[in-house]
């Protein structure tokens, strides 16, 4: 990724403290490009085109928080 997207991502991360967890959808997604804008390079979520939204949400939460913190949130806020 180049240009404005990279600059915007850099500004969001550095100035505003936003955590960016990109999602690569499908087999043709360019994961290496997404790593450039991710807050942590190894936290690019990959999923299929027909991914279950609740599973994708769990993956995103795990990508944004530590596993222990995510487990605590999941236990306290999941709907049975």
pLDDT at 66: 54
pLDDT at 72: 52
pLDDT at 69: 52
> Domain tally for the chain?
1
Phi-psi region of 17 (alpha: psi -120 to 50; beta: other; left: phi over 0): left
pLDDT per residue as tens digits for the range 10-51: 887 878 888 888 888 898 988 888 888 888 777 888 888 998
**Among the ranges given (2-16, 38-52, 57-71), the one the predictor scored with the smallest mean pLDDT:** 57-71
Domain with 54, as residue range(s), is 4-77
């Amino acid at each position: 990724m180049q240009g404005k997207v990279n600059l915007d991502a850099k500004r969001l991360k550095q100035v505003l403290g936003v955590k960016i967890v990109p999602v690569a959808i499908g087999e043709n997604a360019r994961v290496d490009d997404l790593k450039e804008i991710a807050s942590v390079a190894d936290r690019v979520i990959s999923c299929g085109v027909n991914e279950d939204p609740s599973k994708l949400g769990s993956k995103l939460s795990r990508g944004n928080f530590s596993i222990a913190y995510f487990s605590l949130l999941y236990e306290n806020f999941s709907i049975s």
